[in-house]
Structure 1
Amino acid sequence: MPSNSIAFARHYTSVIDEVYQRASVSGVLNSGRRMVRAGHNAKEILIPKISVTGLGNYTRNVGYKTGAITYEFETKTFNYDRGIRLFADVMDVEEAGVNDCFVEAGAELQRTQVAPEADAFTFAQIASHTGVTVTPEDLSEATATDILQALREVTSAMDEKQVTLGSRYLFITPTLKGVLDDFSYANPTMSNRVLERFARVIEVPQVRFYTAIDLKSGDTEFGYAKAAAGKAINFMVVEKSAVIKFDKHVASRVFSPDELESLDSYMMKYRKYGIVELFDNKLDGVYVSAATE
């Protein structure tokens, strides 16, 4: 178990020295309450999929042509089950004078570990889903016009496939977004209206933006890392209704030393159990551009 690093305080201040980290950026894709209720009681959820035939000619002597309704179910399995327990010796806490350390530690866990991993898992699951094509594009030296052209091709293809416009999100690295921003500032008369084809443009740090990741077991390493076969994602376009994303169970609790039999320590437990999946009928609403190497 990793050792704690609670420094003994001489003059304690409530200002925390914390590492830089962004909050979650994939939360806009969270599914609504209806989906959460559907997955309340089972390890798997059944998603109804419906299709109907088109129209035919109506004739006065025969009437209606006969079509059909196809109603079937997709089975989706919860695919994210992660957790951790953290200990702090009661004397370390007392001597450091940080009696509320688990309030701060809980916030730090969410901000620096839970949120980044949840984002990375979300994007990797979407990119690696069967039926989603990852387009290799070397945009390392791309100009703004190159990026805008790529985005226009994506939006035009989605428009032609009748993908919903109002909930279409563009996730893009800060580096590429910066190229677009600088271009717009320097060339105010040049069109960048393709960005209006998205409900929102969201920057994703590259360290959370891979086509595949490895979730570390916690035996020797914690957290996540880019998988050997993973590629850095340039940008991803996602129509929200194509995604199944929610947490079925989140548990967080702090235990006092009196509640632990073998240790004179405080303990914090955290667990998150959920799913990130795609609807098989809505894959046209997903596009992934990734690096070639």
Structure 2
Amino acid sequence: MNTITLAKKYASLLDETYRENAKTAVLESDAALAREGANANEIVIPKLSMDGLADYSRNSGYVDGNVSLTWQTVKYSYERGRMFSVDAMDNEESQSIAFGALAGEFVRTKAVPELDAFRFASIAGTSGISTESGDLATGEEAAAAIRKAVSAMDAAEVPSEDRILFITPVLKGMIDDMDTTKSRAVMAGFDQIVVVPQSRFYSAVKLNDGVSSGEEGGGYSKATGGKNINFMIVHKPAVIQFTKHALPKIISPANNPDADSWKYGYRSYGLCSVYANKAAGVYCHTATA
């Protein structure tokens, strides 16, 4: 099979896997709002500021105001990758399942969970966002904590539309089990509710480099001092999230000078951050431990 055709075949599989499994995919920003920066590892985003109202005079009319559009530079903060080899005979004898399974399973079980974990930790670690800590043992406690978070965002004048609730399956289940008017009301105020496995939901994560002793397996883990996130409310326009998806690098055995094997490389490059003037659009509730 032509290598380019194979690359396209598995690229579509990877894109589909990402859409189905990445919990943070709903936060992806509109690429039209950003432009390339002076350096390859950065983008610039627009930042608008203006004066407020002034007294109107019936003699002289309006008071002149100032409005300025500046461009804020944001650097890409996530760059990870891996290269795998699949022996040509192993792949042939498995009717190409070995290579196909590698591509799909790697993205589904390794790449996507890590990307989610990195993004949630990046958002949770942003200075200026609203935070609360506490152990929620019942549906009533969880619902009350969410109501408190909503009230805090309302008080900060965060728009009610485009709010997304990310919550662990345990807490979501406890609230659903209440099945009361109050529990339904507290969950009805969000544009989307996304259930996030606890294994991706930490306030801080450590990304293993893949080469140091004890880190050869790569991946990620909860960082020292990191906490379990119970739930996070995000006003989508408060987050800057871009993903640069390069076509997976696939090298056929015929083009591999080192071995009679297929080589599959995966690289993920992007950024996740919170607008400095929109920190009130994020509320993060963590466990105390």
For the superposition of Structure 1 and Structure 2, which TM-score range results when normalised by the shorter chain?
A: 0.7 to 0.9
Q: Secondary structure at the match of 2:21?
A: coil
Q: Could you say what the CA RMSD is over the residues aligned between the two structures, in angstroms?
A: 1.9
Change in 2 beyond 3 A, CA 1:133/1:160: closer
Taking structure 1 as the reference length, the TM-score comes to: 0.85
Q: Shift in Å at residue 63 of structure 1?
A: 2.2
Name the structure 2 match of 1:155: 150
Change in 2 beyond 3 A, CA 1:61/1:227: same
Residues 204-262 of structure 1 show CA distances to partners (whole Å, capped at 9, x for unaligned) of 00000000111111112311111012110000000111111111242303211111112
Name the structure 2 match of 1:123: 120
Change in 2 beyond 3 A, CA 1:169/1:190: closer
Question: Which one has a larger percent helix, Structure 1 or Structure 2?
Answer: 2
Name the structure 1 match of 2:187: 195
Counterpart pick for 2:56 among 52, 55, 58: 58
Change in 2 beyond 3 A, CA 1:65/1:211: same
Name the structure 2 match of 1:5: none
Maintained 8 Å contact 1:257/1:266: yes
Q: Shift in Å at residue 274 of structure 1?
A: 0.7
Q: List runs of 5+ in structure 1 lacking aligned partners.
A: 1-21
Q: Secondary structure at the match of 2:269?
A: strand
Counterpart pick for 2:164 among 165, 169, 178: 169
Change in 2 beyond 3 A, CA 1:189/1:56: closer
The more displaced of 117-126 and 145-154 is: 145-154
Q: Secondary structure at the match of 1:58?
A: coil
Name the structure 1 match of 2:82: 84
Maintained 8 Å contact 1:121/1:213: yes
Mapped to 1, the partners of 2:111 and 2:149 lie a distance apart of 31
Counterpart pick for 2:176 among 174, 178, 181: 181
Q: Shift in Å at residue 130 of structure 1?
A: 2.2
Q: Secondary structure at the match of 1:230?
A: coil
* Percent identical residues: 41
Change in 2 beyond 3 A, CA 1:245/1:190: closer
Q: Shift in Å at residue 115 of structure 1?
A: 1.1
Name the structure 2 match of 1:15: none
Q: List runs of 5+ in structure 2 lacking aligned partners.
A: 1-19
Specify the structure having the higher radius of gyration (Cα).
Answer: 1
Mapped to 2, the partners of 1:261 and 1:216 lie a distance apart of 29
Counterpart pick for 1:209 among 196, 201, 222: 201
* 2:41 maps to 1:43: yes
Maintained 8 Å contact 1:154/1:287: yes
Deviant stretches of 4+, over 4 Å: none
Maintained 8 Å contact 1:251/1:269: no
* 2:107 maps to 1:105: no
Mapped to 1, the partners of 2:171 and 2:254 lie a distance apart of 52
Maintained 8 Å contact 2:230/2:286: yes
Partner AA of 1:283 in structure 2: A
Mapped to 2, the partners of 1:171 and 1:191 lie a distance apart of 16
Aligned residues: 265
Mapped to 2, the partners of 1:75 and 1:285 lie a distance apart of 20
Residues 157-198 of structure 1 show CA distances to partners (whole Å, capped at 9, x for unaligned) of 2123221222100000000001001111xxx45553121211
Name the structure 2 match of 1:229: 225
Q: Secondary structure at the match of 1:272?
A: strand
Mapped to 2, the partners of 1:189 and 1:273 lie a distance apart of 44
* 2:261 maps to 1:269: no
Residues 9-66 of structure 1 show CA distances to partners (whole Å, capped at 9, x for unaligned) of xxxxxxxxxxxxx82111111112314x624873111222112111112112232223
Q: Shift in Å at residue 92 of structure 1?
A: 2.8
Q: Secondary structure at the match of 1:258?
A: helix
Residues 82-138 of structure 1 show CA distances to partners (whole Å, capped at 9, x for unaligned) of 1111111223334x4332422221111111111111111110010011222432112
